[in-house]
Amino acid sequence: MIGLDVRDLVTGYGEMKIVRGVNFTCRVGEITALLGRNGAGKTTTLSAIAGLLPTLGGSISILGAEQTDGASQRIHGGLGLVQEGKRVFRSRSVEENLRLGGFIHRRRRGFISDGIEKAYERFPVLKTKRSDAAGMLSGGQQQMLAIAQALMAEPKVLMLDEPSAGLAPSVVDEVFGEINALKKEGLCVLLVEQLIDNSLAVADHVAVLDRGRITLDCPVNELGDWDVLRESYLGAPVIVEG
């Protein structure tokens, strides 16, 4: 089942079109890695899908429903976004952040409290910090909170923008472990990330964005040599040791 379908997407800032005719799909229970050089248009693409930027052309469908309204309606439609930079409410407590994440479902009896308990099961360290201000958490804990906050709305499609940015290697492994667990729980995950090896290790599908267009789109198991991907599509030099 297709969770996210992007067709001929055109978007940008004002009169500047950054993304021009992008096509890709993400399936439920799979991770699609959207890779590309800095400035390729990855964050712009995610922002348009989330309704934070206007769709100047093409279409975006979530679980088969074409999206025409803004960001709040897309959340109701099953979309979640974890933005780059560990976007949490720094002056509010961990638990307040989680409650804000589930706000759209506030009228559902017991929904928020159940969601908070699930968040603490997923990230036990957050439970020990539940009363602490989010700004006092470590970078890795803030990223965990940002993911947990997005999951509070029970999205069916979750987009993650550079979840490893600024994290220690040991924390990166933990975050990617949780991302891999999400697809096993049946989510459709769209992952934008600079760590190519980590991304491809968990992804089922890969799409490469370059100058606002998709230049490669295939299952990860059909890639063959990852070094070719790095050098040909991402501009990353292949370092040979010895």
pLDDT digit string, tens, across residues 32-78: 999 998 888 999 999 999 999 999 999 999 999 999 878 888 988 89
Instruction: Give residue 154's pLDDT.
Output: 92
Mean pLDDT of the region 107-136? 90
The CATH number of the domain holding residue 172 is 3.40.50.300
Q: Is residue 64 part of a domain?
A: yes
Instruction: Give residue 87's pLDDT.
Output: 83
Question: How many domains is the chain partitioned into structurally?
Answer: 2
Domain identity same for 69 and 164: yes
Domain identity same for 71 and 106: no
Within 10 Å of residue 57's Cβ, how many Cβ atoms?
A: 15
In which order are the strands placed within the sheet that holds 2-13? Answer: 16-27, 2-13, 57-62, 65-66
Q: Is residue 191 part of a domain?
A: yes
User: Is the distance from CB of 162 to CB of 84 less than 8 angstroms?
Assistant: yes
Task: Give the bridge partners for 4, in sequence order.
Answer: 26, 62
- Which of 154, 169, 188 marks a domain boundary? 154
Q: Is residue 83 part of a domain?
A: no
242, pLDDT greater than 60: no
Domain identity same for 74 and 16: yes
Domain identity same for 147 and 190: no
Q: Is residue 170 part of a domain?
A: yes
User: Is the distance from CB of 119 to CB of 197 less than 8 angstroms?
Assistant: no
Sign of CA dihedral 188, 44, 51, 106: positive
**For every residue of the chain, which 3-state class applies, written as one string?**
CEEEEEEEEEEEECCEEEEEEEEEEEECCCEEEEECCCCCCHHHHHHHHCCCCCCCEEEEEECCEECCCCHHHHHHCCEEEECCCCCCCCCCEHHHHHHHHCHHHCCCCCHHHHHHHHHHHHCHHHHHCCCCEHHHCCHHHHHHHHHHHHHCCCCCEEEEECCCCCCCHHHHHHHHHHHHHHHHCCCEEEEECCCHHHHHHHCCEEEEEECCEEEEEEEHHHCCCHHHHHHHHCCCCCCCCC
Domain identity same for 74 and 126: no
Domain identity same for 128 and 34: no
CA distance 181 to 60: 26
CA distance 87 to 9: 26
Per the structure, the complete domain to which residue 117 belongs is given by 91-154
- Which of 154, 185, 204 marks a domain boundary? 154
106, pLDDT greater than 80: no
Domain identity same for 74 and 160: yes
Q: Is residue 86 part of a domain?
A: no
Bridge-based pairing of strands 65-66 and 57-62 is antiparallel
List pLDDT tens digits, range 130-150: 999 999 999 999 999 999 999
Instruction: Give residue 241's pLDDT.
Output: 38
- Which of 130, 154, 178 marks a domain boundary? 154
Domain identity same for 113 and 51: no
